[in-house]
Chain A
Amino acid sequence: MTNWIDIGTIADIPRLGARTVETALGQVAVFRTAEDEVFALINKCPHKNGPLSEGIVMGRKVACPLHNWVIDLNSGHADAPDEGCTTPLALKDEGGRLLLGLDAVAAVAHG
């Protein structure tokens, strides 16, 4: 069972921007693209743990503010030639309400 938690509305996140959500596992970054798609990632760049929520969002990617690694919002993978991955989380937009799926986090937290 996925545990869907209402974290707010899409309007709370600026277009091409991000907000953070505090969870048991640490901070989660939730992103909104220019086309109103939303994505959630653990807020740590695979390189040096930079807060991805503070990066510049472009297309479906974000540039980490610390050293400009570019991370795919959907997969969490770094763009080549960099290598690494941060954990993506399920996030649904249901009529403007954003629901974060936290079972993956729980599994990691207890596993």
Chain B
Amino acid sequence: MNSVPRQRLVVIGNGMAGMRTVEELLARAPVRYDITVFGAEPHPNYNRIMLSSVLAGEKQIDDIIINPRAWYTQNAITLHAGDAVIGIDAKTKTVTAASGLRVAYDKLLLATGSKPLMPPLPGLDLPGIVTFRDIADIDKMLAAAEAKQRAVVIGGGLLGLEAAWGLKRRGMPVALVHLMPTLMERQLDTEAGTLLQRDLDERGLHFFTSGQTERIIGSERAEGVALADGRTVPGDLVVVAIGIRPNVDMGKAADVDINRGILVGDDMATSDPDIYAVGECVEHNGQVFGLVAPIWEQAKVCAARLAGDTVASYVTPALSTRLKITGIDVFSAGKLAAEDDGDEEVVFRDAAKGVYRKLVVRGNRLVGAVLYGDVADGGWYFDLIKGNKDVAEMRDRLIFGQGFADQDCCGGSKAGLNVAAMTDDTQVCGCNGVSKGAIVKAIGEKGLTTLDEVRAHTKASASCGMCTPTVQAILSFVTGSDAAAPEVMCKCTDHGHDHVRHAILDQRLKTMADLREALGWKTADGCAKCRPALNYYLLCAWPGEYVDDYRSRFINERVHANIQKDGTYSVIPRMWGGVTTPAELRAIADVADKFNIPTVKVTGGQRIDLLGVKKQDLPAVWGDLNQAGLVSGHGYAKGLRTVKTCVGSEWCRFGTQDSTALGIKLEKMMWGSWTPHKVKLAVSGCPRNCAEATIKDIGIICVEAGYDMVIGGNGGIEVRVTDPLTRLTTEAEVLEYSAAFMQLYREEGHYLERTAPYLERVGLAHIKARILEDDAGRKALYARFLFAQSFAQDDPWAERAGGGVDAHEFQSLAVVS
């Protein structure tokens, strides 16, 4: 043991600033102090920045604990969690806690953080009013969300927006009242603030900007807020998140100098040289603090001073901010706008893509950056600002980001980052102070291959996550793995189709709401592009379990007919293998007469199309067709359309096999199936190929020796001749192999991807490996297809002709004159 008696350090405040200082101190002088920590909250030290992610359901409380109780024990720190200090006697150097406990100190550290700023409003003491500061607040909000109440958030800054978004993610209708005309006006310029409001509005938040809250409505409990301009906003939960103010209670108790915060010098000491203060409770050079980067810097300096360093001094670093709302990317640093004639603004705007960038240049230096939509270059701009670097050379390319500005031509990497051009001391993670060099070193030395591993070992991107794309790019650069981002599904998500399909299976996501929540969808309802895709993916993954969401289907699949340019519909009954009977033809003729159907046309798929049917007539038309045994031909579906056949050996003098009967068997097996895009089959009775099987998704060409199976053909815009898959000898094999390929396409195809592009994407070798070389795998695919079909083969026309299913679709709500 150390022979020098240890000094006693008492820390008031068990939050991020206090414990970061203790961590830094332990690293520098592990045995210098006996440390006692008092915390008002009954929890170990947690990452307060991530509370919004807990509220949004993206993280659990356990995930945001920085130092568990074991850490205190290991480091011989005495923790009094849930016991607030109520008195400090600076003369006798003792603190007194609420429990009556008295502890003496040699050095005292005040790290009590801040309190929520409360506006002077009548009614603020009513039940139903909460702030957004600690775990207890989160618990109250979650209880309200559970009860499906409505929320009003007062405050459109970082804190208020994150609270509003979290509550929205929890299923509450949320209105947000903000005093200023645009959101986050301290961090964003008007344009970026307006884009932010537009995007959040699309996600279902309701905004009342330029809204001055006058009072809380309600007598027993909060029922909403009233604004000065007469508007009222109803809500059962009112969240006040207009800002914070330093908590100076302990400074008063210790009788040290106080202004807005507890005054500290560059050494982080208060007016009493044995009492230090760090974090949101302090005021330094007239400035108070709310962001993490300067507070980490204070912790470093304070720890050095406590460890005996007499030189370390604190300077407020340049600040950058980011909003933690999944999928909304906002970054700002330095000046938000030109301040005088010497400043120049460079602006880039792509409204359709929702991308906006503004740089503020003074002389040849970058002094400010506001990014919206694409923030990958935020760290780089921030480095230029902090480093006060001369940007004259790249001035004309600066706005396009590092990938372009650092090079002579337009050769930047896909991620917009040029990792090779970053110097080793470039700071990548501002929260945890991790440089590119440190990340590269850790990847090399420890053989890291995943983002999570890099996070665990370096802490880079482990706090706010803003630098995740950069860390990912460095990882890809060092390990040589492909960093190319997959094509995203739509503007509602950053994920590609494959990622979504894997997540559905891996995370057992079974409803659209769960899926959108688990994958951080950016829009509340999704869009016309992703909803039908997700509906199909869920239907394919969970046959018999997933309930089809008909509101996510395109109109044709919703009403089981094909919408035409004038709003009427076409009706195509199934003609199995293209074979019909006089009775069926009579029924079709009668329906055409009875309902004045203007056009009757033979289709390319060997069926008859009734065109120009009025929507309200559809159920009756179907009813009459059903009477004759005709069912839906799914001529409107992303599913099995036709199986075209020739007459084959039954009639044709060249026919080798009974192609008509085989086509009918295939159609009877496959009808009613939903697929990524439409699927057409054909069976030709001989190599003359009259059924045109070589431009179909699956084609069977009969030969004397058996059946040639061909796949991936298309006769549309881009004609593609099928690839030969294999020769089969029996009809049973044809059914098994065809169903197996169909199921493989169902499971791997991207929504709206026909078999032709699917095949080109995955490669014929992959299909052969799955269908030809893996007998057990093929049989499993076949079995999965038949299982799915057991839930799919109900005639949708019969379900609707009887007046049962979706009756409202076919009737007007009202007729008024």
Interface residues of A (CB under 8 A from B): 5, 7-8, 12-17, 19-24, 27, 30, 33-35, 48-51, 54-59, 63, 65-66, 68, 70, 80-81, 100, 102
Contacts and interface: CB of A to CB of B under 8 A. Distances in A.
Given A56-B551, A59-B204, A81-B352, A19 B813 contact: yes
B91 interface: no
Interface in B8-62: none
A32 to B, nearest CB: 10
B70 interface: no
B523 A13 contact: no
Closest 7 A/B residue pairs (Cβ) = A63-B528, A19-B813, A7-B814, A54-B555, A56-B528, A22-B815, A65-B555
Contacts of B282: none
B525 interface: yes
B63 interface: no
A55 B559 CA distance: 12
A8 B815 CA distance: 11
Contacts of A15: 551
B808 A20 contact: no
Given A54-B558, A56-B552, 8 more contacts: A16-B551, A20-B813, A33-B525, A34-B204, A58-B531, A65-B555, A70-B528, A80-B352
Most chain B CB within a 10 A radius of its CB, from A17, A23, A48, A58: A58
Given A14-B551, A66-B565, A57 B525 contact: yes
Contacts of A102: 816
30 contacts: A5-B814, A7-B813, A7-B816, A14-B551, A16-B525, A17-B551, A19-B813, A21-B813, A24-B817, A30-B813, A34-B204, A35-B204, A50-B567, A54-B559, A56-B527, A57-B551, A58-B526, A58-B531, A59-B202, A59-B203, A59-B204, A59-B525, A63-B527, A65-B555, A66-B563, A70-B528, A80-B351, A80-B352, A81-B352, A100-B816
Contact of B528 (A14, A21, A68): A68
B812 interface: yes
B813 A13 contact: yes
A50 B173 CA distance: 32
Contacts of A7: 813-814, 816
A59 B525 CA distance: 6
Contacts of A54: 555, 558-559, 563, 567
A63 B165 CA distance: 25
Contact of B525 (A24, A58, A100): A58
Interface residue SS majority, chain B: loop
A21 B204 contact: no
A77 B368 CA distance: 36
B516 to A, nearest CB: 12
A61 B523 CA distance: 12
A49 to B, nearest CB: 8
A12 B808 contact: yes
Contacts of A49: 567
Nearest to B553: A56
Contacts of B525: 16, 33-34, 57-59
B524 interface: yes
A108 B674 CA distance: 45
Contacts of A30: 813
B554 interface: yes
Most chain A CB within a 10 A radius of its CB, from B559, B565, B567, B813: B813
A91 to B, nearest CB: 11
Contact of A59 (B523, B808, B813): B523
Contacts of B531: 56, 58
Nearest to B815: A22
B808 A55 contact: no
Nearest to A30: B813
Interface in B525-551: 525-528, 531-532, 551
B352 A58 contact: no
Nearest to B813: A19
Interface in B264-299: none
Contacts of A27: 812
B613 to A, nearest CB: 14
A58 B808 contact: no
Interface string B499-529: 0000000000000000000000001111110
Contacts of B559: 54
Contacts of B352: 80-81
Contacts of A65: 554-556, 563
Contacts of B808: 12, 14, 19
Contacts of B532: 56
Nearest to B559: A54
Contacts of B527: 56, 58, 63
Given A59-B204, A81-B352, A35 B173 contact: yes
B187 to A, nearest CB: 26
A19 B204 contact: no
B816 A5 contact: yes
A100 B813 CA distance: 12
Contacts of A20: 812-813
A85 B204 CA distance: 23
Contacts of A13: 813
B528 A55 contact: yes
A8 B528 contact: no
A34 B817 CA distance: 30
Interface string B783-817: 00000000000000000000000001000111111
Nearest to A6: B814
A8 B808 CA distance: 13
Contacts of A33: 525
Contacts of B204: 34-35, 59
A51 B616 CA distance: 14
Interface string B665-700: 000000000000000000000000000000000000
Nearest to A7: B814
A30 B555 CA distance: 16
A80 B563 CA distance: 25
B551 A21 contact: no
Nearest to A16: B551
Contacts of B556: 65
Contacts of B813: 7-8, 12-13, 19-21, 30
A50 B814 CA distance: 20
Nearest to A19: B813
Contact of B554 (A17, A56, A58): A56
A35 B527 CA distance: 15
Interface string B163-195: 000000000010000000000000000000000
Nearest to A62: B528
